[in-house]
Amino acid sequence: MPAQRTLILLKPDAVQRGLVGEILARFERKGLRIVGLKQIVPTTEQATKHYAEHAQRPFFPSLLSFITSSPLIALCLEGDSAITVARTLIGATDARLAAPGTIRGDFGLSKGNNLVHGSDSPEAAERELAIWFTDGLITWTKVDTVWVEG
Ligand code: IDP
Ligand code: MG
Protein backbone atom coordinates (compact mmCIF):
# COMPACT_ATOMS: atom_id res chain seq x y z
CA MET A 1 0.00 0.00 0.00
CA PRO A 2 1.20 3.52 -0.73
CA ALA A 3 1.71 6.05 2.04
CA GLN A 4 -1.50 7.62 3.25
CA ARG A 5 -2.33 10.57 5.46
CA THR A 6 -4.97 10.47 8.15
CA LEU A 7 -6.54 12.99 10.51
CA ILE A 8 -6.27 12.15 14.19
CA LEU A 9 -7.77 14.14 17.05
CA LEU A 10 -6.64 13.66 20.63
CA LYS A 11 -9.94 14.72 22.14
CA PRO A 12 -10.32 17.03 25.17
CA ASP A 13 -10.49 14.08 27.59
CA ALA A 14 -7.07 12.84 26.40
CA VAL A 15 -5.59 16.32 26.89
CA GLN A 16 -7.26 16.90 30.28
CA ARG A 17 -6.07 13.52 31.56
CA GLY A 18 -2.46 14.11 30.50
CA LEU A 19 -2.42 11.24 28.02
CA VAL A 20 -1.11 13.15 24.99
CA GLY A 21 2.47 11.86 25.28
CA GLU A 22 1.36 8.27 25.88
CA ILE A 23 -0.97 8.27 22.88
CA LEU A 24 1.47 10.04 20.55
CA ALA A 25 4.15 7.54 21.55
CA ARG A 26 1.97 4.64 20.42
CA PHE A 27 1.48 6.13 16.95
CA GLU A 28 5.17 7.00 16.64
CA ARG A 29 6.42 3.60 17.82
CA LYS A 30 4.22 1.93 15.24
CA GLY A 31 6.08 3.88 12.56
CA LEU A 32 3.52 6.54 11.67
CA ARG A 33 5.10 9.95 11.11
CA ILE A 34 3.70 13.12 12.61
CA VAL A 35 3.50 15.53 9.67
CA GLY A 36 1.08 18.01 11.24
CA LEU A 37 0.33 18.82 14.88
CA LYS A 38 -1.49 21.61 16.66
CA GLN A 39 -3.45 22.29 19.83
CA ILE A 40 -6.69 24.21 19.39
CA VAL A 41 -10.14 24.76 20.84
CA PRO A 42 -12.40 24.16 17.85
CA THR A 43 -15.32 26.41 17.04
CA THR A 44 -18.80 24.90 17.04
CA GLU A 45 -18.87 25.44 13.28
CA GLN A 46 -15.65 23.48 12.80
CA ALA A 47 -16.81 20.63 15.06
CA THR A 48 -20.20 20.52 13.29
CA LYS A 49 -18.46 20.17 9.93
CA HIS A 50 -16.20 17.45 11.24
CA TYR A 51 -19.04 15.37 12.69
CA ALA A 52 -21.62 16.25 9.98
CA GLU A 53 -22.49 12.58 9.38
CA HIS A 54 -23.79 12.35 12.97
CA ALA A 55 -25.92 15.54 12.91
CA GLN A 56 -29.20 13.63 13.34
CA ARG A 57 -28.00 11.34 16.12
CA PRO A 58 -29.33 11.86 19.67
CA PHE A 59 -25.82 12.22 21.10
CA PHE A 60 -24.84 14.98 18.63
CA PRO A 61 -25.43 18.00 20.95
CA SER A 62 -23.38 16.47 23.77
CA LEU A 63 -20.68 15.38 21.31
CA LEU A 64 -20.40 18.99 20.10
CA SER A 65 -20.21 20.40 23.65
CA PHE A 66 -17.56 17.85 24.55
CA ILE A 67 -15.34 18.39 21.52
CA THR A 68 -15.45 22.20 21.84
CA SER A 69 -15.10 22.24 25.65
CA SER A 70 -11.30 22.67 25.88
CA PRO A 71 -8.15 22.20 23.80
CA LEU A 72 -7.65 19.17 21.62
CA ILE A 73 -4.66 18.09 19.56
CA ALA A 74 -5.14 17.74 15.81
CA LEU A 75 -2.61 15.52 14.07
CA CYS A 76 -1.86 14.50 10.54
CA LEU A 77 -0.14 11.11 10.54
CA GLU A 78 1.53 9.66 7.48
CA GLY A 79 2.64 6.14 6.62
CA ASP A 80 1.84 2.89 4.84
CA SER A 81 -1.90 2.23 5.24
CA ALA A 82 -2.01 4.98 7.87
CA ILE A 83 -5.81 5.16 7.95
CA THR A 84 -6.40 1.51 8.84
CA VAL A 85 -3.29 1.24 10.99
CA ALA A 86 -4.34 4.21 13.12
CA ARG A 87 -7.92 2.91 13.49
CA THR A 88 -6.54 -0.46 14.62
CA LEU A 89 -4.35 1.20 17.25
CA ILE A 90 -7.31 3.33 18.42
CA GLY A 91 -9.75 0.43 18.91
CA ALA A 92 -13.55 0.11 18.94
CA THR A 93 -15.75 3.18 19.40
CA ASP A 94 -17.10 2.09 22.80
CA ALA A 95 -14.01 2.20 24.98
CA ARG A 96 -15.65 -0.15 27.49
CA LEU A 97 -15.68 -2.84 24.79
CA ALA A 98 -12.45 -1.95 23.00
CA ALA A 99 -9.74 -4.61 23.08
CA PRO A 100 -6.93 -4.35 25.60
CA GLY A 101 -3.80 -3.09 23.84
CA THR A 102 -5.74 -0.47 21.92
CA ILE A 103 -5.74 3.16 23.05
CA ARG A 104 -9.44 3.16 23.90
CA GLY A 105 -9.22 -0.33 25.40
CA ASP A 106 -6.38 0.66 27.70
CA PHE A 107 -7.45 4.15 28.76
CA GLY A 108 -11.19 4.62 28.23
CA LEU A 109 -14.40 3.72 29.99
CA SER A 110 -16.96 5.54 27.85
CA LYS A 111 -18.43 5.53 24.37
CA GLY A 112 -18.62 9.33 24.03
CA ASN A 113 -15.42 10.30 25.84
CA ASN A 114 -13.25 7.87 23.95
CA LEU A 115 -10.01 9.86 23.72
CA VAL A 116 -9.17 9.71 20.02
CA HIS A 117 -10.66 10.26 16.58
CA GLY A 118 -9.24 8.68 13.43
CA SER A 119 -10.46 9.08 9.83
CA ASP A 120 -12.21 5.95 8.58
CA SER A 121 -11.53 6.11 4.81
CA PRO A 122 -9.34 7.96 2.29
CA GLU A 123 -12.32 10.19 1.40
CA ALA A 124 -12.93 11.02 5.07
CA ALA A 125 -9.22 11.70 5.63
CA GLU A 126 -9.11 14.18 2.75
CA ARG A 127 -12.31 15.92 3.89
CA GLU A 128 -11.26 16.06 7.56
CA LEU A 129 -7.66 17.19 6.96
CA ALA A 130 -9.08 20.14 5.01
CA ILE A 131 -11.16 21.12 8.06
CA TRP A 132 -8.36 20.97 10.64
CA PHE A 133 -5.33 22.05 8.62
CA THR A 134 -6.79 24.95 6.66
CA ASP A 135 -3.52 26.82 7.17
CA GLY A 136 -1.63 24.12 5.25
CA LEU A 137 0.70 23.42 8.18
CA ILE A 138 1.51 19.88 7.13
CA THR A 139 5.16 19.27 6.43
CA TRP A 140 7.88 16.71 6.91
CA THR A 141 11.29 16.39 5.36
CA LYS A 142 13.87 13.78 6.24
CA VAL A 143 17.25 15.37 6.88
CA ASP A 144 20.56 14.08 8.23
CA THR A 145 21.05 15.09 11.83
CA VAL A 146 22.66 18.49 12.06
CA TRP A 147 25.04 18.84 15.01
CA VAL A 148 25.64 22.09 16.76
CA GLU A 149 29.35 22.72 17.33
CA GLY A 150 30.83 23.51 20.72
P1 IDP B 1 -15.56 6.47 15.71
O2 IDP B 1 -14.98 7.65 16.43
O3 IDP B 1 -15.06 5.16 16.30
O4 IDP B 1 -15.37 6.53 14.21
P5 IDP B 1 -18.37 7.13 15.24
O6 IDP B 1 -19.48 6.12 15.22
O7 IDP B 1 -17.96 7.75 13.96
O8 IDP B 1 -17.14 6.44 16.01
O9 IDP B 1 -18.83 8.26 16.26
C10 IDP B 1 -18.13 9.47 16.36
C11 IDP B 1 -17.95 9.84 17.81
O12 IDP B 1 -19.25 10.12 18.37
C13 IDP B 1 -17.41 8.72 18.70
O14 IDP B 1 -16.02 8.62 18.65
C15 IDP B 1 -17.93 9.12 20.06
O16 IDP B 1 -17.13 10.15 20.63
C17 IDP B 1 -19.31 9.67 19.72
N18 IDP B 1 -20.35 8.65 19.81
C19 IDP B 1 -20.64 7.67 18.92
N20 IDP B 1 -21.67 6.91 19.33
C21 IDP B 1 -22.06 7.43 20.53
C22 IDP B 1 -23.09 7.08 21.47
O23 IDP B 1 -23.86 6.13 21.28
N24 IDP B 1 -23.16 7.86 22.58
C25 IDP B 1 -22.32 8.92 22.82
N26 IDP B 1 -21.37 9.27 21.97
C27 IDP B 1 -21.22 8.53 20.84
MG1 MG C 1 -16.25 7.80 12.80
Q: Whose CA is nearest to atom 5 of ligand 1?
A: 93
Helix (H/G/I), strand (E/B), else coil: 52: helix
Is 28 domain-assigned?
yes
Q: Which of 54, 28, 22 is nearest to 120 (CA)?
A: 54
The answer to whether residues 73 and 15 touch, using CB atoms and an 8 Å cutoff, is yes
pLDDT of residue 2: 76
Is 120 domain-assigned?
yes
Whole-Å CA distances, 24 to 57, 105, 138: 30, 16, 17
Is 24 domain-assigned?
yes
The answer to whether residues 85 and 79 touch, using CB atoms and an 8 Å cutoff, is yes
State the residue range of the domain holding 59.
4-132
Is 30 domain-assigned?
yes
Is 148 domain-assigned?
no
CATH assignment at residue 45:
3.30.70.141
**Backbone dihedral region for residue 115 (phi beyond 0: left; psi -120 to 50: alpha; all else: beta):** left
Is 83 domain-assigned?
yes
Position 143 pLDDT exceeds 70 = no
pTM of the model: 0.93
Cα of 63 to ligand 1 centre, how many Å?
A: 8
Q: Whose CA is nearest to atom 6 of ligand 1?
A: 93
Q: Look at the chain and report how many structural domains it folds into.
A: 1
Is 141 domain-assigned?
no
Is 140 domain-assigned?
no
Q: pLDDT digits over 10-60, tens only?
A: 999 999 999 999 999 999 999 999 999 999 999 999 999 999 999 999 999
